[in-house]
Amino acid sequence: MHRVAIIGAGPTGVYTLAALLKETPSRLHLDIFEKGPAAGPGMPYSAEMNTPSMLSNIASRELPPVVVSLNDWLLGLDRSDLARLGLRDAEIGEDAFYPRLALGAYFTAQMAELIARGRRAGHRIELHLRHTVEDIRPRLQGIEVIWRSPAGTSKADYADVVLATGHRWPDSVSEGGARLQSAWPAEKLARLPQRRIGVLGSSLSAIDVAVTVASARGRFLEVGGDLVYQPDEGQDDFLISLMSRKGLLPEADYWYQLPLPELPRLAACAAGEGPLLDRAYRAFLADLEEADGDWLTRLGGSVIGRDVFRTAYFAERLAADPFDWARENLALAEETLAEQRPTPWRSALLRAHELFEELIPQLSESEVEAFHATLKPVFTDCYACVPHFSVRRLLALREAGVLEVLRLGEDSRMSERRTGYRVTGDDVETEVEIIIDARGQPAMKFSDLGFPSLARDDILARPLRFEDFVLPLGAATSGRIHCLALPVLLRRHPFVQGLVNAWEMGCTTAKVIAEAMDGCAAA
C-alpha cells in the first residue's frame, strides 16, 4: 500500500482525506496524527477553544461539503442535538452563519464517516489521537515521521507526508514589554476579573472576545425586535476597548450570487509582457470598471494607482464614527440579503481576490511586498465581512456603554504600568488592565512548525513559493512533503485562512499524490 501521513486532523486534514479517498487509484495506508483529543474540528472549531456564543465566518452555502453538506447534516439531527449546538430548526438555511461549535461537530462527524467508508473500501486508515509529531526527516526511501504518544516514541516511513497543522495562539509580549494574552482558549475570558479590557484587533475574532467577556457579565435580550445588552447587577462598570490601526469595524455580510462573476482580463493576465503585478492591477481595474463603473469613478477612476485605490477604499469609513457606519451598513446588508441582490463591486472584489491568490506565487519578492502593502488590505476587508448577528451584538454593547473602538494608527505603543498598561497611538492614549491579542493567526516561518529536521538551512533546494504545496526538498529522497500549514503559507497565499481554501488545498494535494501513484504503477 502507498503510505501517507496526515499531520493534523482539523478541517484541512478532513478535506485532504476526503480528496485522497476520491482521487487515488489504489488502496492507501493512511496514518492521521492529531495531538489533541478529537479528530475533525481542529483549533478553530473545537469545544476546548471556543464558547457557544462564537460564530463562524462562513455562510452555510459557501462551505464545501465533505460526505454530506453542512445543512443536510444539521437537518438530520434531533432538536436536543441542535440545542446543544446552540441552534433551532428554523435557523438552518443556506445563508445562515452557525456557531463555531456546530462546524466542529460537523467536521468530527464527517471525519468519522470518511474513516469508516475508507476502511470499507479496503484502505488501511489509522487515527492517532494525542500523538505529537516531533520530527519529519527526508530519507532516501521516503519521509520518516517520529512521534510521541502516551505509549512512548515511535517512527515510520511514508511516501507522502501532509502538513495540515500550525495553528498556535500563545501569549506574547509587545515591543514595549506589554504582556499580550491569547484569546484562546476562550473559556478563560469568562473568568477575567479586570474591568478595563483592551482587545487588539476589530475583526470577528475580536468581536467574539468582546461578546464572550460581556456574556460572562450580563446577557443579550431581544426587546421589541431590537437586541439589547443587560449587565448583571453590579457588573455595569466594565469597558471593552477594541483597538486597531484603522479603528474600523468589519462590515456586515452582503448577499452575493454564486458562482461569482468572471473577470476575464484579470483571469488572462498571466500571459503578457512587463511586471506581473502591474499587468494584473490594470486588468483588475478594467474588469472592475465594467462590473461597476460608477463605484470605481467615486474612488478615482480607471487610472487610479494602487496606493490611492487603497486609501480611497477606506476613506469614507475612516471619516465616519465606526458605530454609526456599522448601523447604516447593517441595514443595507440586511436589505441585500432580503432581496438577494448582489452589490456588483463587492462581488468583483471577492472574485478578484481569488484570482490574485493564484497569481501571487508567480510574483517577485518586491511585487509580493507591494501587494501586501496596497491591495491585500482591500481584499481582506471585503471578504472578512461578519454575520449580521455579530454586528447587532456590537451595537447592543455600544448602546449599553460597555464597548468602544480606538484608532491606534500606524505608530502605536504599549507599555506596562503599575495598574496595567498604557496604550498610545497617533491620536489616542488610554490605560487598560489587560490586553487580549485577537488579531488572528500570525504568519509563521517554515522553521517555526517545530520539526527540527525541516528547520535546517539546507532542507530546501530553492525558496518556497508553494505553487502546488509540495516542498522543493534539497535532500535526495523518494518521498514528498506537502505543506498545507496555513500560517506558513500566508506570505505567498495571504488569503488561505478559510475553509474553502482548506478544501482547495486538500484537492490539489490529493491530485499530486494520485498522479505520483499512477506514475509508479505505470513504471
> Is residue 275 located within the same domain as residue 204?
no
Assess whether 182 and 122 both reside in one domain: no
> Which of 340, 357, 383 is the last residue in one of the domains?
383
d(CA 102, CA 74): 9
Q: Is residue 518 part of a domain?
A: yes
Task: Among 103-112, 248-257, 358-367, name the one with the lowest average pLDDT.
Answer: 358-367
Q: How confident is residue 521, by pLDDT bands cut at 50, 70 and 90?
A: low
Judgement on whether residues 406 and 475 belong to the same structural domain of the protein = no
In a domain, 58, yes or no: no
For the chain, what is the domain count? 3
Amino acid 172: pLDDT: 77
Task: Work out the percent of the chain whose per-residue pLDDT is above 70.
Answer: 99
Asked if residue 162 and residue 21 are part of one domain, the reply reads yes
Out of 98-107, 142-151, 446-455, 478-487, pick the least confident: 446-455
**Residue 196 belongs to some domain of the structure:** yes
| Residue 323 shares a structural domain with residue 466 | no
Task: Tell how many helices (H) and how many strands (E) occur in the chain.
Answer: 15, 19
Using the predicted structure, report yes or no on whether residue 522 has a pLDDT greater than 70: no
**Which range (164-173, 204-213, 278-287, 484-493) has the least confidence?**
164-173
Which of the four pLDDT bands, split at 50, 70 and 90, describes residue 302? confident
Strand-pair partners of 55:
99
43 & 158 share domain: yes
Once rounded to an integer, what is the mean pLDDT over residues 394-408? 96
At residue 48 the predicted structure's pLDDT band, cuts being 50, 70 and 90, is: confident
The reply to whether 325 and 358 lie within a common domain is yes
**Does residue 257 form part of some domain?**
no
Question: Residue 388 domain-assigned?
Answer: no
Same domain, 246 and 191: yes
Whether the pLDDT of residue 488 is over 90: the answer is no
Range with top average pLDDT, 120-134, 156-170, 457-471, 509-523:
120-134
Lowest mean pLDDT across 18-22, 312-316, 440-444: 440-444
Q: Output DSSP code: residue 255.
A: P
More reliable by pLDDT, 188 or 15: 15
Task: Please check whether residues 415 and 375 belong to one and the same domain.
Answer: no
Beta carbons within 8 Å of 107's beta carbon, 6+ residues apart: 10, 11, 14, 40, 41, 42, 45, 66
Asked whether residue 77 is assigned to any structural domain, the reply reads no
> What is the tens place of the pLDDT at every residue in 174-227?
777 788 888 888 888 888 899 999 999 999 989 999 999 999 999 999 998 899
Does the pLDDT value for residue 440 go beyond 90? Answer: no
User: Do residues 108 and 40 lie in contact, with contact meaning Cβ atoms separated by under 8 Å?
Assistant: yes
Whole-number percent of the chain with pLDDT over 90: 65
Q: Report whether pLDDT(466) > 80.
A: no
Is 501 inside any structural domain?
A: yes
**pLDDT value at position 436?**
93
Residue 283 sits in the same domain as residue 345: yes
Within this chain, do residues 350 and 428 fall inside the same structural domain, yes or no?
no
Which residues form the domain of 43?
2-50+104-168+442-522
Q: What is the mean pLDDT of the chain?
A: 91
pLDDT, average across residues 306-327: 96
Q: Which of 327-336, 363-372, 454-463 has the lowest mean pLDDT?
A: 454-463
Q: The domain spanning residue 474 has which CATH number?
A: 3.50.50.60
At residue 411, does pLDDT exceed 90? Answer: no
Are residues 355 and 273 part of one domain?
A: yes
For residue 80, is it within any domain?
Answer: no
The whole-angstrom separation of Cα 455 and Cα 241 is 39
The mean per-residue pLDDT over the stretch 494-500 comes to 78
C-alpha cell of 294?
460608477
Residue type, 520: C
Structure-model confidence comparison of residues 209 and 169, the more confident one: 209
Q: Which residues of 46-77 are buried (b: 16+ CB within 10 A; e: fewer)?
A: bbebbbbbbbbbbbbebbbebbebbbebbeeb
Predicted local distance difference test score (pLDDT) of residue 140? 93
Helix axes 388-399, 322-339, angle to 10 degrees: 150
* Per-residue pLDDT at 523 exceeds 60: no
Secondary structure, 3-state, 377-402 = HHHHHHHCCECHHHHHHHHHHHHCCC
DSSP-assigned letters across all residues of 150-191: TTEEEEEEESEEEE--------EE-TTBPEEEE--SGGGGGG
